[in-house]
Structure 1
Amino acid sequence: MRLFALMLCGFVCLGVMTGCWNRKELNDLSIVVGFGIDKAKNQYKVSAQVVNPGAYDMKTGSANLAPVTLYSSYGPTVSEAIRRMTTMTPRFNYFAHLRILIFSEELSREGIGKTLDYMSRNREFRNDFNIIVARGVKAEQLLNFMTPLERNPSNSMFKMLEVSTKVWSPSVSTKLDQLVTSLSVEGSSAVLTGIRLKGDIEEGAKSSNVSAIKPSAHYEYGGLAIFRRDKLIGWMNEKESRGYSTITDQVDESIVTIDCPSGGKLSVSGIRVQSEIKASLAQRKPEFDITIKGEGDIEDMECKLGLQKESQLKELQTRLEDEIAGFCQAALSKARRVKSDIFGFGNALHRSNPRYWNKVKKDWQNDWTESQVHIHVHYVIRRLGTISSGVMDEMKE
């Protein structure tokens, strides 16, 4: 009887342990590296940039093959449009290696919340791809492009944004979970980096674009898209974008250029920049203090200036603090005009005073613009570089 029970248990286990019943062989998959969503009347137009494996095969591949292939289809939902794409491609689309997700500007102004549901719900989508907004062009046009240095255009866009975010503060890298959190959490709004096509767009889609020393067209990141809820409502210029990155503590490294007291320019490379937002109530009204602390090295001095004097360094530090504060004020002014709390002031108020937040959160996106915001910048120049005096100082009249 005991043996019979064990055998029965074994057969039951074999019945439920069916192995890889839903497996998909690698040869049956199309690796999607870039994905764009455009609006087409009352439908979505989705474009998937997939890797062309033959172009990467060192033994049997052809150098004349394009490194990627682009497929596009339409549908009332993103999911249906992707399924309809199987009528033109011999493989299943696989999104686990996605590098870049592009929303068109037109779609972003109508709202991206519905399209994000598919990416958030589908288990194939990981959280290591960047999300951007196409400026002045369709998302499909950005994916139908040939790029130098990086054969894979989507990988090129991904790496460009990662590098730019690390060394140039007007760009920000936004992943899927960050975007969903910004859209869903009360007291904050989303921001995405914009991308343009510069030059001749038609020539950029040809293979000749990568064979010339100077390409006919190229990508360029520029400006941050401001969202209110899930709708694009405005763009920040470079100065405003720098202020946003500084206030939200997203500056890894950047350059600040100021005027020298005696004329000329001086650039300081920021190596440690940190910011913090604190909320308080003053006469039953919210106030916010933004504290920014930074350290930097002099990287470029095109003026005559005696850096050995402590008074000169202090004057430079004051000018740097004023310049950074100017970035932040520009970003605040822009956010106030479009009435979008992109800095997370509401989150800070929620943490410091939950009861008061529950009273004002309903109309916060409109009411926060009346709040007092104080900016405190403390910047220190740590190093002068490999030379103490400037080249201009050494030049004789």
Structure 2
Amino acid sequence: EGLDEVFDAMERHHQFRTTAKLVIARGHSAKEVLSVLTPIDKISARQIIQMLKFSELAWGETSNIDIWRTVRDIAVSQRNPVMTGVAIEGDPRKGKRQENVQSSVPDARIKLDGLALFKNDRLVRWVDGPTARGMMWVLERIQHTNLTVPWEGKKEAIGYRTTRSKTKVKAKIKNGRPSISIHIIAEGELSESRIPINLADTSLLFRLEKELERSAKEDVTKAIKAAQREKTDVFGFGAAVHRAAPRLWKKIEKEWHDRYFPELDVTVTTDMHIRRTRMWDKPY
């Protein structure tokens, strides 16, 4: 039925807080998710809030948003909302029992599970893993995340953890057609090397940076293509076009999501910098 009626009641009534965090139950009902007893917090909703906070901070594949921001995204034509999914891992029936919190390995636990893409107030698609991370790169919601790159024929040979990042989104107009350029700058450190390489070699670090740039660009490209297939601008590209050409935006606003956004030319560039290799230059 969509979310309009739900949010109208929440926004209108003075006893609701629009700063409340928002997630979407995935694979189970919201009631079932909230019925699972969790070992850390007695109230499962509090555990979800903590998971959202630390997942966005440390992993970069989830979005910690509230009701107010979601209502704003639905209300304007320049952006559609993105929300984090929450699912139950294990047996939901056993998760309601007190024994669930008395075991080191519970029968059921709550986990964050992907991103829900919305078009207006309706869910149209789920994205997971690197595609979800690509969404967060474009939305500039990446604080820390982990990337792995292959090296010398070995998959996930080198691990890299970002410490800071910046995303710049610009719109350009040519012959009455908008286009978007995305530039991502990130700094970080090597977190793991599963092969024996000399990290004191600056030329090798330069090659690693190029591999990391390719990996990040691939994630972002997947995310953009996924949103374009569903004809939903969750990135706010419409807002960038509005800033660059207000008169053009007035002409294309009503057809933005269904006509212009799916065919939008998007250019992605990345600069990934390795600032530290931690304690060792040469693995044992």
Scaled to the shorter chain, the TM-score interval is over 0.9
Q: Measure the CA separation in 1 of the matches of 2:41 and 2:190.
A: 32
Structure 1: tracts of 5 or more residues without a match: 1-109, 392-397
Provide the alpha-carbon RMSD of the alignment. 1.1
Match of 1:84 in 2: none
Residue 251 (str. 1) matches residue 142 (str. 2): yes
Cα shift at 1:127: 4.0
Once the two structures are superposed, residues 262-296 of structure 1 have per-residue CA deviations (whole angstroms, 9 ceiling, x without a partner) of 63511111011110110011222111000100001
Structure 1 outlier segments of 4+, above 6 Å? none
Q: Measure the CA separation in 2 of the matches of 1:226 and 1:296.
A: 29
Q: Secondary structure at 1:323's aligned position in 2?
A: helix
Contact 1:262 1:303 in 2 (8 A): no
Residue 237 (str. 1) matches residue 237 (str. 2): no
Q: Measure the CA separation in 1 of the matches of 2:57 and 2:21.
A: 14
The structure number with the bigger radius of gyration is 1
- Paired amino acid for 1:290: I
Normalised by the length of structure 1, the TM-score is 0.70
Cα shift at 1:144: 1.2
Q: Measure the CA separation in 1 of the matches of 2:199 and 2:81.
A: 42
Contact 1:150 1:156 in 2 (8 A): yes
Q: Measure the CA separation in 1 of the matches of 2:193 and 2:225.
A: 31
Match of 1:97 in 2: none
Cα shift at 1:126: 2.7
Normalised by the length of structure 2, the TM-score is 0.97
Match of 1:196 in 2: 87
Match of 2:282 in 1: 389
- Among 268, 271, 276, the residue aligned to 1:375: 268
- Among 244, 254, 257, the residue aligned to 1:365: 257
Residue 167 (str. 1) matches residue 55 (str. 2): no
Cα shift at 1:368: 1.2
Q: Secondary structure at 1:130's aligned position in 2?
A: coil
Cα shift at 1:198: 0.7
User: CA 1:244 to 1:282, structure 2 compared with 1: closer, same or farther past 3 Å?
Assistant: same
Contact 1:297 1:381 in 2 (8 A): yes
Alignment of 1:108-119 (within 5 A): 110-119=1-10
Contact 1:169 1:242 in 2 (8 A): yes
Match of 1:285 in 2: 177
Q: Measure the CA separation in 2 of the matches of 1:115 and 1:143.
A: 18
Q: Secondary structure at 1:174's aligned position in 2?
A: coil
Structure 2: tracts of 5 or more residues without a match: none
Contact 1:262 1:305 in 2 (8 A): no
Q: Measure the CA separation in 2 of the matches of 1:369 and 1:154.
A: 37
- Paired amino acid for 2:118: F
Match of 1:98 in 2: none
User: CA 1:262 to 1:312, structure 2 compared with 1: closer, same or farther past 3 Å?
Assistant: farther
Q: Secondary structure at 1:163's aligned position in 2?
A: helix
Q: Measure the CA separation in 1 of the matches of 2:163 and 2:169.
A: 20
Q: Measure the CA separation in 1 of the matches of 2:152 and 2:241.
A: 40
Contact 1:268 1:300 in 2 (8 A): yes
Match of 2:205 in 1: 313
Match of 2:228 in 1: 336
Residue 326 (str. 1) matches residue 218 (str. 2): yes
Q: Measure the CA separation in 1 of the matches of 2:6 and 2:35.
A: 21
Cα shift at 1:124: 2.4
- Among 7, 13, 16, the residue aligned to 1:125: 16
Identity %: 27
Cα shift at 1:173: 0.5
